[in-house]
Chain A
Amino acid sequence: MAPELISSLSLWQEPFMQRALIGGVISGILGGWVGSIAVLRQLSFFAEALGQASLLGISLALLLGLSPPVLLWPFALGFAWLLRELLKRSSLSADALLSLMCSGALALSVVLLSSLPGARLSLQQLLFGDILGIAWVDLLPLALLLVVTLAYGVISRRAQILISIDPVLARSRGVAVETHRMILLGLLALVVAASIKAVGVLLISGFVVIPACVARLLSRSFNVYVLLAAGIGAFSAVLGLFGSAVFNQPSGPMVVLVQALLFVMALLAGRWVAQTTTAASVDRAR
């Protein structure tokens, strides 16, 4: 066995690796579930904007001398609410407005971070994640968020599907569309804020969106789609973390790279299945 592999296997016995593994799996499940609904609602770019806004939240926390997680969760919720209100009231198209907010938040946070002595050192960790630095105390809110998110996912399954198909149809069946929209955006904001530690600001939207895209290529039912997206999120977190330890690379890019590879594999598998099915039906027709 290669020495790198042996040393990486022994790493799993270290408490920091075990914490990272638990954090990665929880973040992966959360990202997979919330991403599966966000993709159906075409909210992918919203996740990107929330990710970049989180950097602003962290910068503000550092500026105020607070611990970043203390300010990050309420900041992400507030930013999601602000985005929603602006989208409702502005005459600008959603993509233009989100792009504007993304760039504005990123520019302001870089200026703020540059003015803080010593903060530049941690910029790479903020941008690309530092899952190995996760503490036991970070895992508790993450686990609570998982319980709340999964419970809401089960309760609101029918509402999520109907709203994704057509909000008017959903309302006619008694679904409180606006309430569910607000809860979903709130959860998306919290999941993004909670997963920043694992994958960083720049890759968070991919981390949330890619598992859903993979699952969408492979699913023919809603339940399978959601479970597969959550499973892919968790699986890629484990594999990415393993790759990070073996190749001594930052955790965020490795996790997202695994997700991207899974997407390519799913795409090729989907094409192969489609070609095989077409060939078989042509043969039957002859």
Chain B
Amino acid sequence: MTAPLLEVNDLCIARAGQEVVSGVSFALQSGSDTAVIGPNGAGKSTLVQALVGLLPHHGGTIRLLGHTLPRSGRLPRAIRDQVAYLPQKLLIDGRFPLSVSEFVRLGCSPRCHHREAVSAALERLQVSHLRRRLLSELSGGELQRVLLAFCTVHPRKLLVFDEPRTGLDPQAAVQLQELLQQLRLQEGLTILQITHDLSMVRRSSDWVLCLNRALCCQGPPEHTLSREELERLYGRDYVLYEHSHHH
């Protein structure tokens, strides 16, 4: 078995002097699609931000692509180029003077051939026709595709998303997930995404991390999304609500 792409051991993260995530351990295999689920305030965004070097950690280890990350959280350049992260709720200001192709080009590394790489990324995400549009003129679904093009214009190994389907209608959310799966299979990408969409997790993810400041459980969706585990993670009320909606 090959070494995991990401290996986290006993990770502890504090924000403003308070421990937000503690004792988290898991591993991501290359090419996997892992979902992080949990209630609001569970430390999901904090966890993924520490994994991509945006936050320091004060305990445990993070081993990403064969390198142990420093506790200060800063990723070395060679690692950073192989990881893409999209934060939650990216709001583009009205009439922000930036065209789609200019934006996607910003995702290029200094060494890549910009024009060809941008055209290929836009083609792959089926947004070539939007290249001259302003970012602020895109619909939610179009913007998410363009953001994916930004993330993948340079070859990456790991994509990390914080609730990528927020604000999308169900059809756009399904289309985005299909595109992600296509990218994963074609480019061999590993995906780690925070989500509240449990039906999507059931359909597409092959590993689930259930987080509520510490890991409550982890495993394939058929085990982690059982009624007992969800009750443990979200409380009894949530599970009753979901149950009544499905029937």
Q: Is B one of A's binding partners?
A: yes
Give the interface segment out of B7-15, B85-93, B117-125, B178-186: B85-93
The answer to whether B96 touches A165, judged by C-beta atoms less than 8 angstroms apart, is yes
Tell me which of A40, A158, A223 contacts B106 (CB under 8 A): A158
C-alpha spacing A174/B85, complex, angstroms: 11
- A166 at the B interface (CB under 8 A): yes
- B102 at the A interface (CB under 8 A): yes
The answer to whether B98 touches A166, judged by C-beta atoms less than 8 angstroms apart, is no
Q: Which of B75, B97, B103 has the most CB of A within 10 A?
A: B97
- B201 at the A interface (CB under 8 A): no
Tell me which of B87, B93, B96, B103 contacts A168 (CB under 8 A): B87
The answer to whether A174 touches B77, judged by C-beta atoms less than 8 angstroms apart, is yes
- B177 at the A interface (CB under 8 A): no
B97 nearest CB neighbor, chain A only: A225
Tell me which of A174, A215, A224 contacts B80 (CB under 8 A): A174
Q: Given the known A-B contacts A168-B54, A169-B87, are A220 and B99 also in contact in the complex, defined by CB atoms under 8 Å?
A: yes
- B132 at the A interface (CB under 8 A): yes
C-alpha spacing A155/B160, complex, angstroms: 28
The answer to whether A172 touches B97, judged by C-beta atoms less than 8 angstroms apart, is no
The answer to whether B92 touches A221, judged by C-beta atoms less than 8 angstroms apart, is no
Tell me which of A162, A174, A215 contacts B97 (CB under 8 A): A215
The answer to whether A162 touches B106, judged by C-beta atoms less than 8 angstroms apart, is yes
The answer to whether B95 touches A161, judged by C-beta atoms less than 8 angstroms apart, is no
List A contacts of B54 (CB < 8 A): 168, 171-172
The answer to whether A224 touches B97, judged by C-beta atoms less than 8 angstroms apart, is yes
B99 nearest CB neighbor, chain A only: A221
List A contacts of B90 (CB < 8 A): 165-166, 169
A167 nearest CB neighbor, chain B only: B87
C-alpha spacing A260/B95, complex, angstroms: 19
The answer to whether A161 touches B106, judged by C-beta atoms less than 8 angstroms apart, is yes
- B27 at the A interface (CB under 8 A): no
Tell me which of A168, A169, A172, A222 contacts B102 (CB under 8 A): A222
- B239 at the A interface (CB under 8 A): no
- B65 at the A interface (CB under 8 A): no
C-alpha spacing A221/B80, complex, angstroms: 27
- A219 at the B interface (CB under 8 A): yes
- A216 at the B interface (CB under 8 A): yes
List B contacts of A224 (CB < 8 A): 97
Q: Which of B46-74 contact A (CB under 8 A)?
A: 49, 52-54
A166 nearest CB neighbor, chain B only: B90
C-alpha spacing A200/B102, complex, angstroms: 37
C-alpha spacing A172/B85, complex, angstroms: 6
List B contacts of A225 (CB < 8 A): 97
- A18 at the B interface (CB under 8 A): no
C-alpha spacing A221/B77, complex, angstroms: 28
C-alpha spacing A216/B95, complex, angstroms: 7
The answer to whether B106 touches A172, judged by C-beta atoms less than 8 angstroms apart, is no
By a beta-carbon cutoff of 8 Å, the part of chain A in contact with chain B is 40, 158, 161-162, 164-166, 168-169, 171-174, 215-217, 219-225
By a beta-carbon cutoff of 8 Å, the part of chain B in contact with chain A is 49, 52-54, 75, 77, 80, 84-87, 90-93, 95-99, 102-103, 106-107, 132, 134-135
The 4 A-B residue pairs whose C-beta atoms are closest, nearest first, are A225-B97, A172-B85, A219-B97, A168-B87
Can you name 29 A-B residue pairings with CB atoms under 8 Å? Answer: A40-B96, A161-B98, A162-B106, A164-B93, A165-B90, A165-B92, A165-B96, A165-B103, A165-B135, A168-B49, A168-B87, A171-B54, A172-B53, A172-B84, A172-B85, A172-B87, A173-B106, A173-B107, A174-B75, A174-B80, A216-B97, A220-B97, A220-B99, A220-B132, A221-B99, A221-B102, A222-B99, A223-B102, A225-B97
